[in-house]
Structure 1
């Protein structure tokens, strides 16, 4: 791993606000297990985990689809694919700013075995979430999770209050990179393509 495991504590994450959690229901997203231990030395907003053999896995992550609450989406649906997770909300200005860039990278890389999966949080009006996805032409699916229960799957120390966050999982669904900031296509696409080109079980 590029950063030493001794730096366990999240240090210096500036302007990280505490978020209020909603009431959970039986239809909410669920998350369990995982070996990923999140570390952000010095409050860095771009974190890479290498070599691949040292990467941890996130827990089981699934939940109802934004577009069809009767459909369950899960990371495990995309076996053998690179999965790019994006934590977002329609209320979040940086999420609006990066929406076109994320869609651009998704369209450019999906033929390389890459799947994007959004995790919509802190939005209690699903119609507004759907309107956002239509307005910004977001064609990849999203899990609907107002109380942010899915984020429990993202590992010990994960800063659940940082929205947007983008996490790149390799083909074995180990954490290869974490971005705690708004992204441009030129920031994300080279990382996704590099991970997509890695040999499995590295």
Structure 2
């Protein structure tokens, strides 16, 4: 093999290794998707450990009253759960990190049912509702999810509160309808609980 061919082969191997590392980093951070997202200027959130941001009471943006048809064909609205702590999870059946966190979300939902906590999903960018139904069946999801293929519900959130370019994303909304915590990444069960517990402990 000539020196030129050997150098070219080494360059291709290095390029492949770099590309693999980049793809792994993207997968670890979550699925990205097209859409316009706002920055964090003036959002009131303070960056915390592990990519979980929080906003102190009195400095929290108001969550919009998202509503519409759910994956199973029913109706749901955020206002249905007024007075409860609400966990809003944005997911898509096409998103590998969403599949990784799904069972943990269901286990956490089961543990917190009856404790003034409600889960509400937003399924987005699934071109067929059937794909979302299969996802819910496969992972045993029992809490409702709005079917939002265009991302319209996501874009109703105030600028800086939720970036539609990052899926999965999770918000915790306090009893007064204010956004208290967010994570723009997939969550382990312990991380999800670390977002819920402080908000649940607050008095309205």
Match of 1:111 in 2: 114
TM-score relative to the length of structure 2: 0.76
- Which entry has the higher C-alpha Rg, 1 or 2? 2
CA deviation string 1:153-178 (max 9, x = no partner)? 22113311110000000111111100
8 Å contact from structure 1 (residues 176, 195) kept in 2: yes
Task: For structure 1, list consecutive stretches of 5 or more residues without a partner in the other structure.
Answer: 1-13, 22-35
Preserved contact between residue 109 and residue 193 of structure 1 (Cα < 8 Å) = no
In structure 2, the CA distance between the partners of 1:198 and 1:39, relative to structure 1 (3 Å rule), is closer
Alignment-derived partner of residue 86 in structure 2: 83
What is the TM-score with the length of structure 1 in the denominator? 0.77
Between Structure 1 and Structure 2, how many residues are aligned?
169
Q: CA RMSD in A?
A: 2.3
1:100–1:149 CA distance, 2 compared to 1 (3 A)? same
CA contact (8 A) 1:58 1:155 kept: yes
Deviating beyond 4 angstroms after TM superposition, the runs of 4 or more aligned structure 1 residues are 14-18, 38-42
**1:33 — aligned with what?**
none
1:18: how far off? 4.9
Residues 1-202 of structure 1: pairs in structure 2 closer than 5 A: 17-19=32-34, 37=43, 45-50=51-56, 52-68=57-73, 71-157=74-160, 158-200=162-204
Q: Which has the higher helix share?
A: 2
